[in-house]
Copies of this chain bind each other. A is one copy, B any other.
């Protein structure tokens, strides 16, 4: 659970509402909400295949739920497995694969146990890593698109409001309120883009980079394990992926 996403959205919205103060009811205009929210949804149907749009709820949930393994934990696990292999051979991993939570690691180990060629294992894992990253980037991509189209629909709504207002300026006292309503769609678009969609896209990208790092560690670890490298050397290699102060050796 990525509690920060929730805290951040609540904080930012809370502060905006605090700034509005008692005027909140006048900031809620259903037709304006309809044109910005509905229009953005319409545009996203034009811009993405149906199944991607349907997957959008899952993508948004991911910004709240994303779980990435800790690099240190993954390295400890790989070093331990490497010691098992050194002592009892690769087949000794058979009984352990089931307990491994990380699917990418268990797939790689299973291939090693099955005796597939090191080069093949590397190719398959590398390709899979690549595709996982592509899928995550697709999620960030559609959120960025939402963050671009929402302000555009906001601007379109404001243009509609301005044109309507300008065509009917006989009552000067109505100009202010008409213009304030015209600005509301721009306001909605800015809120949606800058507090929800664009920061969420940022989180998916940041999380994806973290996951890629974990996958690189696993890939390097399995290569080392299959090559029968000394667990100390393997650990030294893997710790290089972490920032110096996070490195803890199992051999110290």
Contact = CB atoms under 8 A, between A and B. Distances in A.
Q: Is the interface of A mostly helix, strand, loop or mixed?
A: helix
Contact of A44 (B8, B13, B184): B8
Interface of A: 2-5, 7-16, 18-20, 23, 26-27, 31-32, 34-35, 38-39, 41-50, 52-53, 63, 68, 103, 116, 120, 123-124, 127-128, 131, 134-135, 138, 145, 149, 152-153, 155-157, 159-160, 162-169, 173, 176-177, 179-180, 183-184, 186-187, 190-191, 193-196, 198-200, 202-203, 206-207, 209-210, 233, 236-237, 240-244
Contacts of A19: 31-32, 34-35, 157, 160
Nearest to A141: B206
Nearest to A40: B12
Contacts of A46: 4-5, 8-9, 12, 63, 195-196, 199-200, 202-203
